[in-house]
Copies of this chain bind each other. A is one copy, B any other.
Amino acid sequence: MSNSSLKTTMLITKALADRQRIRILMLLRDRELCVCQIIAVLALAPSTVSKHLSILGAAGLVEHRREGRWAYYRLPGGSADAASRSALQWIEASLGRDKTIEIDDRKLAKVLACDPEVLCRQQRRC
């Protein structure tokens, strides 16, 4: 992924060219999230969200770790490709104060408030 070819750039631009994937990236701004928490905010089928996350991952725009049966996704750290990082910076700057994103943030706050650090199932049933 650390190659700045047109192909790599297209992976990133295509990953960014979807409303739901942008929403996911914005949700991950300050914290990592479990897939079920993302599902709860976006209100999409688990399979759909999983597919979006795999596209973001292939573009180097998210990383993930597994913990038991849960998968936690986060924005890439310092080891990430320069193109990915600057793309993310651009997205965040462009969406400073968007209505949809703010609503998502509030939804996320409620999901997180339910029972932090506990099972996704419980968090999803807020």
Contact = CB atoms under 8 A, between A and B. Distances in A.
A93 interface: yes
A1 to B, nearest CB: 12
A96 B4 contact: yes
B90 A6 contact: no
Interface string A1-32: 00011101110111011110010000000000
Interface stretch (A72-80, A98-106, A118-126): A98-106
Interface in A77-100: 83, 86-87, 90-91, 93-100
Q: How large is the interface on A (under 10, 10 to 19, 20 to 34, 35 or more residues)?
A: 20 to 34
Give the number of copies in the complex: 2
Nearest to A11: B17
Contact of A10 (B6, B22, B97, B101): B22
29 contacts: A4-B95, A4-B96, A4-B97, A4-B98, A5-B99, A6-B19, A6-B95, A6-B98, A6-B99, A6-B100, A6-B101, A9-B94, A9-B95, A9-B98, A10-B22, A12-B94, A13-B13, A13-B16, A13-B17, A13-B18, A13-B22, A14-B17, A16-B16, A17-B17, A83-B93, A86-B90, A86-B93, A86-B94, A87-B90
